[in-house]
């Protein structure tokens, strides 16, 4: 996904990714999502990692951008990793006895 520069850091990408993952692992019943991220795109890598994506490796000359071939890092997340993140979030949000 591409986010306009004026919206960087606003949380819109995180929210969009959460919606995409919920739909992919919910109604679509997918097993795996992948995200090819340009090697120099630190913000996208941080976003992927914060949503439980795992770094798999570098895909050399993956995409032709700006007149040259660019390497990308392949990130992925599996259904069970997404579900465990929901379980952890629910446990954190639950009220604790005092």
Strand ranges (E), 1-98 = 32-38, 54-65, 68-78
Q: What is the pLDDT of residues 6-61, one digit of tens each?
A: 888 888 999 999 999 999 999 999 999 999 999 999 999 999 999 999 999 999 99
Domains and CATH numbers, the chain: 31-90 (3.40.630.30)
Predicted TM-score (pTM) of the model is 0.81
Using CA atoms, how far apart are residues 34 and 17, in angstroms rounded to an integer?
Answer: 12
Q: Which of 62, 79, 65, 70 has its CA nearest to residue 27?
A: 79
Q: What is the pLDDT confidence band of residue 2, given thresholds at 50, 70 and 90? A: confident
- Amino acid 39: pLDDT: 97
Q: What is the pLDDT of residues 60-98, one digit of tens each?
A: 999 999 999 999 999 999 999 988 877 666 556 656 665
Read off the tokens for 87.
Answer: 């379980």
Task: Please name the residues in contact with 15: beta carbons below 8 A apart, sequence gap of 6 or more.
Answer: none
Asked whether 71 and 59 are in contact (CB, 8 A), the reply is yes
């Amino acid at each position: 996904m591409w986010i306009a520069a004026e919206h960087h850091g606003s949380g819109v990408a995180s929210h969009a990714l959460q919606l995409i993952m919920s739909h992919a692992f919910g109604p679509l019943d997918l097993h795996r999502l992948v995200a090819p991220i340009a090697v120099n795109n630190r913000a996208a890598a941080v976003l992927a990692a914060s949503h439980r994506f795992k770094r798999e490796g570098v895909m050399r000359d993956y995409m032709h951008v700006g007149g040259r071939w660019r390497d990308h890092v392949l990130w992925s997340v599996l259904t069970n990793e997404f579900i465990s993140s929901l379980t952890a979030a629910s446990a954190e949000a639950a009220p604790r006895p005092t």
